[in-house]
């Protein structure tokens, strides 16, 4: 031992600022036990960010293991949890990699840059798997739409997502925008990216081969984002959070665009042994994780890290979360070719160290050894907490307060229009028009379709012709999860699974972003444990594995947490994109058919929320077997060409599905209902879809439904200029459209 490390050993009682960096006393004591001495300042920086909640999953790990232990067998799964993103086989030699992550707290502090760098970070996760990113999506949640805080945050978030994604030339093919007072001060900005690669070209975050060089390439390192995601995502938010602006990263999408093309050429040249993106925890994360997954050691000279600010100290270099950076492990003989490719793309690249087999991560600064640690202790052996949890004190009362006591409306026409023009059900065109949904010309379906869909054939240069495509959807419902987190998580998965299936794609794999309050609150921890248990059980029943994701804790202000909000993304595959099923009614003279069963289920519904501001009772029943059967019918019907249009039933029930189906192409419909019309129109029972079937295909379609035991009810036919529910209501399609389109522009301009 020499220099800083030696001095640390000789001064065991010197105070260290571990508490200021978010470490608990017992965590700091464990670091000292691992090292056999107190840490240096640089070592403390590494452990503080790597053992943060955001990076180590220390409060969630014990529950997340269910995704592996209960995982269904899937031959399509090529890379599962534990890497930067999951990878699945989608046929014809192709693989897709996708993942969703949060950038919640940074987006509250600085909406534009917080959201923009959230997109940049998830895109680099996809790049690091060896893939070309081909599309993005986002799942957004804000406070009440008319709240001043929402008017501050939402435009900046949308602008940041739009700016970064549009500059990268990546289509934004779908997502969510949800408003609820519980998200005031704690918006959720969850970003998803999907990429394509040949199934035999997967890259991993590993540093094998002593003597191989460690190359840092991309943007230089600056003071922006020091402790950013790792610190901001590991603490609750108070009013002084605006003082944390320096901890928000600043993005440069033009550098990232160069980085994408540079990485793809490096992969094609086979000059990359292992690769890791630099996101949360920056150099600390990249070096420890690469070394831990390789031959165990690495030597790094921090003086060689290119700096945008030469005054940065080594601790700041290690904690900086400056964007658009990657770290590669390269064979010495390949360094000239590696550097030449980087130079071609104007991407700065510097060798900062090399791989060793010592089992130690050693870093120097000005000739002194400032870090000497076993890398696995930082990357993989952080604290694991079995946090206490129990059902919230008011849960039973919440569930007992059912919507049954709420007065039912007499005017169902007015109710439909009120819901259709409410912030959560209104048109998202004000948001999505700011995104480029069709850049690269491979987008087959995008908002407002139920799921985004991309063709594969021209997505990458040199691709073999194929008719295949992939479909993606993200969904979640915090009100459902508040009422029952187990069922709420299953309903989020069910809706995303159903949204993919209604396009004709077969659901294949899952990613998730789990947004909750403080894990130190036993009631929040109960919500989290139940949601994870529900999602794992549902994935097992539906036969779709979790490929990876993200946990975002501390989404609360003071003691007030957001509604538990598990957001689920589902990826599906369609053999021929020409057989995709568009959303809604596509022509006149089609049979309108309702699939599934409708019960009286209003707990957590949009009707209760909009009409009465009510949240209570139980959410709709999650019927996973019915969801699987429904998906099988929808996928097979698409293959046979039996359906001309489809739409899932979810928020707002059949009434909203009918209205949106009419607005999709300006085609009206006349339908007749049985039973109580209010329940038929506004119940939110799950496992249901609306389809439009040609008259001559109806018999075959009904037989297919019978084979899968899926209830199939003919409601009426498409045609005319109005939505007519016989004996109940009649609304011109143009009035539906005007009501639907007006809400968000009226609020946000």
Distance CA 43, CA 625 (A): 51
Is 277 known to sit in a ligand binding site? Answer: yes
Q: What tokens appear for 726 in the block?
A: 């016989």
Say how many CA atoms lie within 13 Å of 235 toward its Cβ. 21
Is 101 known to sit in a ligand binding site? Answer: yes
Helix then strand then coil, in percent of the chain rounded to 5, is 40, 25, 35
Helices vs strands, H then E, count in the chain? 27, 28
Is 60 known to sit in a ligand binding site? Answer: no
Is 138 known to sit in a ligand binding site? Answer: no
Q: Can the peptide bond before residue 618 be classed as cis, meaning omega within 30 degrees of 0? A: no
Is 499 known to sit in a ligand binding site? Answer: no
Q: Is 103 a catalytic residue?
A: yes
Is 552 known to sit in a ligand binding site? Answer: yes
Say how many CA atoms lie within 13 Å of 563 toward its Cβ. 27
SS3 state at 624: helix
Torsion from C-alpha of 212, 214, 218, 224, nearest 10 degrees: 170
Q: Is 242 a catalytic residue?
A: no
Distance CA 271, CA 378 (A): 28
| Closest CA relative to residue 69, chosen from 81, 60, 78 | 81
Using DSSP bridges, classify how beta strands 452-455 and 443-445 pair: parallel, antiparallel or unpaired.
antiparallel
> Using CB atoms within 10 A of its CB, is residue 315 exposed (0-12), middle (13-18) or buried (19+)?
buried
What count of residues does the chain have?
749
Neighbour-count burial for 444-459, b at 16+ CB within 10 Å, e otherwise: bbbbbbbbbbbbbbeb
Is 707 known to sit in a ligand binding site? Answer: no
| Closest CA relative to residue 233, chosen from 555, 550, 478, 521 | 555
Which of 63, 103, 609, 740 is catalytic? The answer is: 103
SS3 state at 592: strand
Q: How far apart are the first and last CA of the chain?
A: 63
Using DSSP bridges, classify how beta strands 556-557 and 546-552 pair: parallel, antiparallel or unpaired.
unpaired
Is 543 known to sit in a ligand binding site? Answer: no
Spatial contact of 251 and 163, defined as CB atoms under 8 Å apart: no
Is 57 known to sit in a ligand binding site? Answer: yes
Distance CA 486, CA 325 (A): 38
Is 579 known to sit in a ligand binding site? Answer: no
The CA-atom distances, in angstroms, between 269 and each of 203, 290, 469 are 13, 21, 27
SS3 state at 372: strand
| Closest CA relative to residue 561, chosen from 159, 22, 37, 185 | 185
Is 323 known to sit in a ligand binding site? Answer: yes
Is 322 known to sit in a ligand binding site? Answer: yes
Is 550 known to sit in a ligand binding site? Answer: yes
Is 639 known to sit in a ligand binding site? Answer: no
Torsion from C-alpha of 514, 520, 526, 529, nearest 10 degrees: 50
210 strand-pairing partners: none
Contacts of 719 (CB under 8 A, 6+ apart): 588, 589, 667, 668, 669, 670
Is 125 known to sit in a ligand binding site? Answer: yes
| Closest CA relative to residue 324, chosen from 84, 128, 46, 56 | 128
Is 730 known to sit in a ligand binding site? Answer: no
Which of 54, 112, 163, 647 is catalytic? The answer is: 54
Is 199 known to sit in a ligand binding site? Answer: no
- Binding-site positions for Mg(2+): 101, 125, 277, 550
- Binding-site positions for substrate: 102-105, 124, 249, 321-323, 552
| Active site members | 54, 103
- Binding-site positions: 57, 99, 101-105, 124-125, 249, 277, 321-323, 512, 549-550, 552
């Amino acid at each position: 031992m020499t220099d800083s490390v030696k001095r640390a050993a000789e001064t065991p009682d010197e105070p260290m600022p571990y508490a200021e960096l978010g470490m608990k006393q017992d965590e700091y004591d464990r670091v000292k036990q691992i090292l056999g001495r107190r840490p240096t300042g640089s070592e403390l920086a590494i452990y503080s960010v790597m053992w943060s909640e955001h990076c180590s999953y220390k409060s969630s790990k014990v529950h997340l293991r269910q995704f592996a232990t209960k995982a269904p067998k899937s031959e399509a799964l090529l890379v599962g949890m534990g890497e930067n993103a999951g990878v699945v086989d989608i046929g014809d030699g192709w693989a897709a990699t996708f993942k969703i992550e949060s950038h919640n707290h940074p987006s509250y502090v600085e909406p534009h840059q917080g959201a923009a760098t959230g997109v940049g970070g998830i895109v680099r996760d996809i790049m690091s798997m060896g893939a070309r990113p081909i599309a993005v999506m986002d799942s957004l949640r804000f406070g009440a739409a008319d709240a001043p805080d929402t008017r501050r945050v939402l435009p900046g978030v949308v602008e940041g997502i739009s700016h970064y994604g549009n500059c990268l030339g990546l289509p934004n093919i779908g997502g969510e925008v949800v408003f609820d007072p519980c998200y005031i001060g704690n918006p959720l900005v969850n970003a998803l990216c999907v990429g394509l690669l040949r199934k035999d070209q997967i890259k991993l975050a590993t540093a094998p081969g002593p003597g191989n060089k460690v190359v840092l390439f991309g943007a230089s390192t600056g003071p922006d984002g020091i402790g950013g995601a790792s610190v901001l995502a590991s603490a609750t938010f108070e009013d002084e959070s605006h003082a944390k602006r320096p901890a928000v990263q600043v993005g440069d999408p033009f550098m990232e665009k160069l980085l994408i093309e540079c990485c793809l050429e490096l992969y094609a040249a086979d000059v990359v042994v292992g690769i890791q993106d630099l996101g949360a925890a920056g150099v600390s994360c990249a070096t420890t994780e690469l070394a831990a997954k390789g031959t165990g050691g690495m030597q790094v000279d921090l003086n060689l890290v290119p700096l945008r600010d030469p005054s940065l100290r080594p601790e700041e270099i290690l904690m900086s979360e400056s964007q658009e950076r990657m770290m590669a492990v390269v064979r010495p003989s390949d360094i000239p070719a590696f550097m030449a490719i980087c130079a071609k793309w104007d991407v700065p690249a510097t060798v900062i160290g090399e791989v060793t087999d010592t089992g130690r991560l050693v870093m120097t600064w000005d000739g002194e050894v400032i870090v000497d640690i076993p890398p696995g202790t930082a990357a993989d052996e952080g604290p694991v907490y079995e946090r206490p949890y129990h059902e919230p004190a008011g849960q039973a009362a919440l569930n007992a307060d059912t919507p049954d006591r709420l007065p039912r409306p007499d005017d169902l026409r007015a109710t439909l229009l009120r819901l259709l023009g409410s912030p959560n059900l209104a048109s998202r065109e004000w948001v999505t028009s700011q995104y480029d949904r069709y850049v690269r010309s491979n987008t087959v379906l995008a908002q407002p379709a139920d799921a985004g869909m991309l063709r594969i054939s021209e997505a990458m240069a040199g691709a073999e012709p194929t008719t295949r495509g992939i479909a993606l959807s993200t969904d979640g419902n915090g009100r459902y999860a508040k009422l029952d987190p187990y069922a709420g998580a299953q309903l989020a998965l069910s809706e995303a699974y159903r949204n993919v299936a209604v396009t004709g794609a077969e659901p294949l794999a899952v990613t998730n972003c789990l947004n909750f309050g403080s894990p130190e609150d036993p009631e929040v921890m109960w919500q989290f444990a139940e949601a994870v248990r529900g999602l794992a059980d549902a994935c097992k029943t539906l036969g779709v594995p979790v490929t990876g994701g993200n946990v975002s804790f501390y989404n609360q202000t003071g003691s007030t947490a957001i509604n538990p909000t598990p957001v689920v993304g589902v990826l599906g595959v369609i053999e021929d994109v020409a057989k995709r099923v568009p959303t809604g009614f596509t022509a006149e003279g089609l049979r309108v058919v309702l699939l599934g069963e409708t019960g009286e289920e209003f707990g957590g519904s949009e009707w209760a929320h909009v009409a009465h501001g009510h949240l209570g009772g139980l959410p709709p029943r999650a019927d996973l077997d019915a969801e699987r059967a429904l998906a099988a019918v929808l996928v097979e019907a698409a293959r046979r060409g039996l359906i001309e249009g489809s739409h899932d039933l979810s928020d707002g029930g059949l009434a909203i599905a009918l209205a949106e189906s009419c607005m999709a192409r300006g085609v009206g419909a006349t339908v007749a209902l049985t039973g109580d019309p209010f329940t038929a129109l506004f119940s939110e029972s799950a496992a249901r879809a609306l389809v439009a079937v040609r008259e001559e295909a109806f018999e075959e379609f009904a037989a297919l439904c019978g084979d899968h035991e899926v209830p199939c009810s003919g409601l009426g036919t498409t045609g005319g200029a109005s939505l007519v529910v016989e004996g109940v209501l009649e609304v011109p399609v143009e009035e539906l459209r005007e009501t639907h389109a007006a809400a968000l522009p009226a609020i946000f301009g």
